[in-house]
Chains A and B, each alone.
Chain A
């Protein structure tokens, strides 16, 4: 496809896709918002801001829709996929799909200025595409080049763009405005999509999307079942874990010092601090705990 053709396609996508998503987000935020606590209750305000889910009622409704869709179609497909294919074959499919994504990860590594990680990605793609039989076998991991994933949402985060409010998207699941923009940009950055368009392989992008969704759902069958079984509020568990894991991906799995708790400084028992207190304490963390204070409060009840 020519450059003008791609630009026209980008314009179409903007006109139809992105605008639709923007309207959806706006509707989500306007129609049903969780009520903000009064300003004279700083702890409640701190809690509200930490949760970062102003559209919780709508998000919960979308989550309910996603759950119904999952139980009716996506999960049975994933279970059928597991039943049909033995693990070594599924592993090969997963490796193949992951390898197709490596060029996109490489581009985002470069955009983030991560030279060493870009080298690892390049090495992985080269080795797995050749010795690894078009990516079916992850030879690179065996020789000390572990996989990692980067996307434009993470690149935006590295460039200092905030995540924005938590949003539960239909079908796509947990996200936020920054990562949603990242998804759209990744679509245009991805060399695989460019190849599919240039060679008029209309089947390639949808086929890869569906296969990737089934592969990911199959890998999550057991952990999600376990989480749902033990959870008191599955929506909150998914929101909490997905936000934490996304933040960890942005940090490249590192645990920075300013996110560690500082314990045992507060004599007033255990409390959540306001974001301002947390930021000025130098710990960046929002709780403190004094075990002695708890012992003291426990003794009268024991008597």
Chain B
């Protein structure tokens, strides 16, 4: 009985599996896909090749971050409507703090999550100007994670504007969080800068 059931199920699988395999077989042939492959490869190499102190981790990750992340776009996006009305000096300070808090939050995490395989499925065809590159991360333990990279062309290469992990956009999550802080403090970007400064101090504590 079990054998018969198994044969039936294997038949179902044989009908379904080829269609799944064909969607995953697309080679990362274009420049955008190659860019993501290079960024992830460089990051893993830089962060995991040797034993690093937290300070070294931070310095290496900052180098990659400033090279590949569109901080001006993200900074304007995550502060929403408050960006326009804020003084330039507060905007400049915010961009620096945003870089610090992101680097400090991610530098130590990257090496903890670095033991994975990645497959670039290729760009998603859309009407938007930005490109959306679909990838799948397969950690050593746990389920595969779908990650979409939103990138824009810049200087014969690309720059990253958002990372969407299992449907959750990091930029959108930060916008909800940061605009909540600003809104609860009379719409002042300076209040967000103050909160970020405190958070950075916390993150720097061992």
Question: Contact residues of A with B, CB < 8 Å?
Answer: 43, 47, 51, 87, 91, 116, 119-120, 122-123, 126-127, 130-131, 140, 143-147, 219, 222, 226, 229-233, 236-237, 239-241, 244-245, 247-249, 251, 253, 255, 257, 260-264, 269-272, 283, 287, 289, 291, 294, 297-298, 300-301
Report yes or no: B12 in contact with A237, Cβ–Cβ below 8 A.
Answer: no
B88 to chain A, nearest CB (A): 3
Report yes or no: A147 in contact with B143, Cβ–Cβ below 8 A.
Answer: yes
Report yes or no: A289 in contact with B77, Cβ–Cβ below 8 A.
Answer: yes
Q: Tell me, yes or no, whether B176 is within 8 Å of chain A by CB.
A: yes
B102-145 CB contact bits vs A (8 Å, 1 = yes)?
Answer: 00110001001000000000001011111010000000011110
Report yes or no: A245 in contact with B167, Cβ–Cβ below 8 A.
Answer: yes
What residue of chain A has the Cβ atom nearest to residue B70's Cβ?
A: A291
Candidates A51, A126, A262, A300; contact of B5 at CB < 8 Å: A126
Candidates B73, B173, B199; contact of A240 at CB < 8 Å: B173
B-chain residues with CB within 8 Å of residue A248 when the two chains form the complex: 166-168
Report yes or no: B148 in contact with A255, Cβ–Cβ below 8 A.
Answer: yes
B-chain residues with CB within 8 Å of residue A269 when the two chains form the complex: 76, 83-84
What residue of chain B has the Cβ atom nearest to residue A231's Cβ?
A: B177
What residue of chain B has the Cβ atom nearest to residue A239's Cβ?
A: B176
B72 to chain A, nearest CB (A): 6
Given A244-B167, A249-B167, A263–B130 Cβ distance below 8 Å? yes
Report yes or no: A247 in contact with B6, Cβ–Cβ below 8 A.
Answer: no
Could you write out 19 A-B pairs with CB less than 8 Å apart? A119-B12, A122-B9, A123-B16, A126-B8, A127-B13, A140-B13, A144-B21, A230-B104, A232-B195, A240-B172, A245-B168, A255-B124, A257-B127, A261-B130, A263-B129, A270-B84, A287-B77, A291-B72, A301-B89
B-chain residues with CB within 8 Å of residue A261 when the two chains form the complex: 128, 130
- Nearest 4 interchain pairs by C-beta: A248-B167, A126-B9, A301-B88, A230-B105
Candidates B20, B73, B88; contact of A298 at CB < 8 Å: B88
Complex CA–CA separation, A294 to B71 (angstroms): 12
A21 to chain B, nearest CB (A): 26
Contact residues of A: prevailing secondary structure: helix
Cβ < 8 Å to A, chain B residues 143-161: 143-144, 146, 148, 152
A-chain residues with CB within 8 Å of residue B17 when the two chains form the complex: 143-145
Given A47-B179, A236-B177, A271-B81, A146–B128 Cβ distance below 8 Å? no
Q: Tell me, yes or no, whether B19 is within 8 Å of chain A by CB.
A: yes
Q: Tell me, yes or no, whether B181 is within 8 Å of chain A by CB.
A: yes
Given A122-B12, A226-B109, A47–B80 Cβ distance below 8 Å? yes
Candidates A144, A147, A240, A263; contact of B20 at CB < 8 Å: A144
Report yes or no: A116 in contact with B19, Cβ–Cβ below 8 A.
Answer: yes
B173 to chain A, nearest CB (A): 4
B-chain residues with CB within 8 Å of residue A283 when the two chains form the complex: 128
Report yes or no: A255 in contact with B13, Cβ–Cβ below 8 A.
Answer: no
Complex CA–CA separation, A244 to B164 (angstroms): 10
Q: Tell me, yes or no, whether B64 is within 8 Å of chain A by CB.
A: no
Residue from A122, A144, A219 having most chain B Cβ neighbours under 10 A: A144
Q: Tell me, yes or no, whether B196 is within 8 Å of chain A by CB.
A: yes
Q: Tell me, yes or no, whether B101 is within 8 Å of chain A by CB.
A: yes
A-chain residues with CB within 8 Å of residue B144 when the two chains form the complex: 146
Candidates A116, A240, A270; contact of B76 at CB < 8 Å: A270
Q: Tell me, yes or no, whether B180 is within 8 Å of chain A by CB.
A: yes
Complex CA–CA separation, A237 to B84 (angstroms): 24
